[in-house]
Amino acid sequence: EVQVVESGGGLVKPGGSLRLSCAGSGFSFSNAWMSWVRQAPGKGLEWVGRIKSKISGETTDYAAPVKGRFTISRDDSIDTLYLQMNSLETEDTGVYYCTTIALTVTTNHYYYMDVWGKGTTVTVSS
Amino acid sequence: DIQMTQSPSSLSASVGDRLTITCRASQSINSYLNWFQQKPGEAPKFLIYAASSLQSGVPSRFSGSGSGTDFTLTISCLQPEDFATYYCQQSYSTPWTFGQGTKVEIK
């Protein structure tokens, strides 16, 4: 079964740091593009960023609100994705989901976030 | 950034109804449009990619259409388990962006 499981959430003070982890299983993690999506309490979904596979250059892209503060990385040797969050703000509070990114093999490359974890909760509060 | 706008933000419907949710992009995204379903307390579930391609295992009462800037998600015969919030999302360019969501409630 393909699955991803997030961990590392918790309570942190504004200005603090936290690192989330996401363990993948049931698929070729090293070939997978991965992403993080978050959801503030009672709000909608917000894409945080993605990381490509090593063979695709392992490049990263981020949403504007987190650029320069958050870093996505991966350790393919242990099938784990990370989200390093620095300079945390109260607006970063929410549930953080890890997802796999699938790609169609048609002429047009369609990307979609197909497998989601259950999420891990981050609370930024003094 | 590409803005995604869904309408309506919420609606009430009955079991057996046919309903349509609209998603509009602030610029053309060809068919790079995905749909998700989320129930309270649960992670989102992926439904449709490339505007109209149903993910494996998703019931055929769900369908998607559109291209360019205007898209729709249709549920042909609403079932009790379909009451949830639905999100569209563009994967045409980063940053990927979601619509604000459409909450489907029981009438």
Q: Collapsing DSSP states into helix, strand and coil, what is residue A54?
A: helix
Using the Cβ of A57 and the Cβ atoms of chain B, whether some distance falls under 8 Å is answered with no
Q: Which of A117, A124, A110, A120 is nearest to A20 (CA)?
A: A120
Residues in chain B: 107
Dist CA B61 CA A7 (whole Å):
35
Q: Residue B102 and residue B100: Cα distance in Å, rounded? A: 7
Considering only CB atoms, B46 lies closest to which of A62, A110, A113, namely: A113
Contact B30 A119 (CB under 8 A): no
pLDDT tens figures, A67-125: 999 999 999 999 999 999 999 999 999 999 999 999 987 778 899 999 999 999 999 99
**Are the C-beta atoms of A53 and A69 separated by less than 8 Å?**
no
The confidence score (pLDDT) of residue A104 equals: 86
B74-104 pLDDT per residue, tens: 999 999 999 999 999 999 999 999 999 999 9
Tell me the mean pLDDT in the region A53-74: 97
Mutation site for B-interface testing, chosen from A110, A115, A116, A118 by largest number of B Cβ within 10 Å? A110
Q: Quick one: pLDDT at residue A109? A: 85
Buried/exposed code over B58-92 (b: 16+ C-beta within 10 A; e: otherwise): beeebbbebeebebbbebeebeeebbbbbbbbbbb
Dihedral pair phi/psi, residue A110, rounded to 5°: -95, 130
Under the banding of pLDDT at 50, 70 and 90, the label for residue A3 is very high
CA-nearest residue to B32 within chain A is A110
Residue B44 forms contact with A (CB below 8 Å): yes
Q: Which residues of A touch B45 (CB under 8 A)?
A: 116
Of the candidates A84, A71, A62, A61, the one whose C-alpha atom is nearest the C-alpha of residue A12 is A84
* A69 phi-psi bin (left φ>0, alpha ψ -120 to 50, beta other): alpha
Judged by CB atoms closer than 8 Å, whether chains meet at B31 and A110 is answered as yes
As given in the structure block, the two tokens for residue B70 are 């205007």
Of B50, B87, B91, the CB nearest to A44: B87
CA distance B83 to A39: 19
Q: Which residues contact A105 (CB under 8 A, 6 or more apart)?
A: none
Report A:104-123 residues touching B (Cβ under 8 A).
104, 108, 110-119
Contact between residue B73 and residue B23 where contact means Cβ atoms under 8 Å apart? yes
pLDDT at site A11: 98
Q: Which of A45, A72, A120 is the best mutation test for B, with the most CBs of B within 10 A?
A: A45
Q: How many residues does chain A have?
A: 126
Over residues B20-65, the pLDDT tens digits come to 999 999 999 999 999 999 999 999 999 999 999 999 999 999 999 9
- Spell out which residues of chain A touch residue B53, defining contact as CB-CB under 8 Å: 104, 110
The per-residue pLDDT for A107 is: 77
